[in-house]
Amino acid sequence: MELNKIKKAEKLDKNFYTRDPLTVARELLGKIFVRRENGITLLGKIVETEAYDGATDESAHSYNGKTKRNAVMFEEGGVLYVYFTYGVHFCANVVTGQKDEGTAVLLRAFEPLNNFDLLAERRFNKSDITEKEKLNLTNGPGKICQAFNIKRSENGISLLGNQIYILNSEPVSDGMTVQTTRIGIKKSTELPWRFYIRNNPFVSKK
């Protein structure tokens, strides 16, 4: 998606997010994630997602009910759920569905679209990076949060505001969508709730 087209794209509305997590995870592919801070706008094309549903999914943070840590996941769809994991990095999730359902979509990988020097400084502490390093800028949930400076302070932020939001784009066709099992979990591993854009070089794992 060309940058001039992105400028004309509309922000996803509440109705997009208040649906089931599998539908949202699938339809988030190709959409443009926007992070605005200190006069700088960062853009990333969403190329990989994973759905989580606490009603049946043992790997979802919401599976055992609401806690202080996962409370945002039980909000109505349209906010960002950010959590700290392994004592190392943050992960960002789009909350979906209705209030108290406890469903969300993990943002697993972006294709970075602009401000590569800033993203590189945050990820590698240098602006001059190799092509391989460019492919590794945002090809994982922790890498996304590091490059886009998403931390605990963004937990619960509305995706309908002007700081962090997602822009609409042309749907990714069925032929270009891969649906498979999720990565890095130990429970409910059989669920095919991971989606990514076929042949996109920024996907975390093919």
pLDDT at 1: 52
What does each C-alpha distance from 206 to 81, 150, 190 come to in angstroms? 25, 25, 17
pLDDT at 94: 98
Query: Can you list the residues of the chain whose pLDDT is less than 50?
Result: none
Domains (range + CATH), the chain = 3-197 (3.10.300.10)
pLDDT at 152: 94
Q: pTM for the complete prediction? A: 0.96
- Strand boundaries in the chain, DSSP class E: 32-37, 40-53, 80-85, 89-96, 103-112, 164-167, 177-180, 194-197
